[in-house]
Amino acid sequence: MKNLFTFFILLISAVGISQQTYNRTQKLMGSRFDLTVVAKDSAQANAFIDIAVGEIKRIEQLISSWDPNSQTSKINANAGITPVIVDSELFDLIKRAQGISKLTDGAFDISYASMDRIWKFDGSLSKMPTEEEVLNSVAKVGAGHILLNASETSVFLELKGMKIGFGAIGKGYAADKAKELLIQHGVTAGIINASGDMNTWGKQPNGEDWKVAITNPMDKNKVFALLPITNGAVVTSGDYEKFVEFDGKRYSHIIDPRTGYPSIGIISVTVFAPKAELADALATSVFVMGKETGIDRINQLPNVECIIIDDKGNITTSKHIEIEKL
């Protein structure tokens, strides 16, 4: 789950500016989307935003595991039975997801949807699940069981009852595709904010970069850093609202798909990347991998940066990021 630790500060002067920013908030993919475009007037802006909304709805129909008629649902329904031929767009998305799973040593895995939901973060969990329950919960999880046939663009889940889901990258992917389409239609600048999965391009009407403020999860009323962002994406993943504690140890709602146990030690991860899809996946992965392994992995990736806040309030950053502290 992505928490809204990040938000954009728009510093716009109306003097001498022919274009302005226009914003619309709309519920899409079951979440809040804030769509901002730079346009000459409201009519043009609304036409642009309608294009973005249409694209996001198209993506939802393709990847939704709740819609029984979606290609993703058909893949899940045929797990352990037969391969399903899908559109090349969905095939490529699954292939990239497998690549990220390999990159993160399985910390990211779209077959997490197969997990039994034994961990409750609504206050009802009174004791730790047993080791057997935890092991059983991930028995059908594993990206290696997703078999892809490129010549047929087919997808086959080897295990009966296995499922895939795009909750960890779906909104990021939708933000990327909406941005891409708007650029094709001549939108020079804007922001797609998919419930905290943010993608930007261009500059504000006054020529300044968009700026992202990072909120301290130890105190949601305080911002500890302000960073410019140009033609890129930023995603924050956090557990400050959803966690459980046993014997003085805090367990995040973000579950390690390899072990079935919640991640520990980190309360916030912010990732900057060229695309929201990648930033989305890596934010979750760093949570699972832990601070040291996560930062090391991020430092090996080009054009990707990361800010981690641990459960003691310590801030760790990747080697090329510069924080403008407030």
**How would DSSP label each residue in 279-294?**
HHHHHHHHHHH-HHHH
**Contact, 205 vs 20, CB < 8 A?**
yes
> Which pLDDT score is estimated for 303?
94
Give the pLDDT of residue 229: 86
Residue 123 has pLDDT above 90, yes or no: no
Residues of the chain with CATH 3.10.520.10: 6-57+171-325
Residue type at 275 in one-letter notation: K
Distance CA 55, CA 17 (A): 29
Which DSSP helix (H) or strand (E) runs through 270?
Answer: strand 266-273
The mean per-residue pLDDT over the stretch 27-47 comes to 96
pTM of this prediction exceeds 0.75: yes
In which residue are the tokens 């928490």 written?
3
For the chain, where do the domains classified as CATH 1.10.3980.10 start and end? 71-157
Among 2.102.10.10, 1.10.3720.10, 3.30.360.10, 1.10.3980.10, name the CATH number for the domain at 71-157.
1.10.3980.10
What is the torsion angle, in degrees rounded to the nearest 10, for the CA atoms of residue 200, residue 8, residue 243 and residue 263? 40
Cross-strand pairs, 50: none
Given a cut of 70, whether residue 142 has pLDDT beyond it is yes
For the chain, the maximum distance between any two Cα atoms, rounded to a whole number of angstroms, is: 67
pLDDT band at 2 (very low <50, low <70, confident <90, very high): low
pLDDT in tens, 251-260: 888 999 999 9
* Domain at 6-57+171-325: CATH code: 3.10.520.10
Q: What is the mean pLDDT of residues 105-125?
A: 90
Per-residue model confidence (pLDDT) at position 83: 98
pLDDT band at 325 (very low <50, low <70, confident <90, very high): low
295-317 pLDDT, tens digit each = 999 999 999 999 999 988 888 99
Query: What DSSP letter does each residue of 98-166 carry, written as one string?
Result: HHHHHHTTTSS-GGGGGS------SS---SPPPHHHHHHHTTT--GGGEEEETTTTEEEE-STT-----
- CA separation, residue 325 to residues 11, 14, 216, 235 (Å): 18, 28, 11, 19
pLDDT at 17 over 70: no
Cα(174)–Cα(170) distance, integer angstroms: 6
Q: How far apart are CA 317 and CA 298, in angstroms?
A: 10
H/E run at residue 48: helix 42-63
Give pairs for 207-214: CB < 8 Å, separation 24+.
208/11, 210/8, 210/10, 211/8, 211/9, 211/11, 212/6, 212/7, 212/8, 212/9, 213/6, 213/7, 213/8, 213/9, 214/5, 214/6, 214/270, 214/307, 214/323
Which tens digits make up the pLDDT trace of 54-72? 999 999 999 998 899 999 9
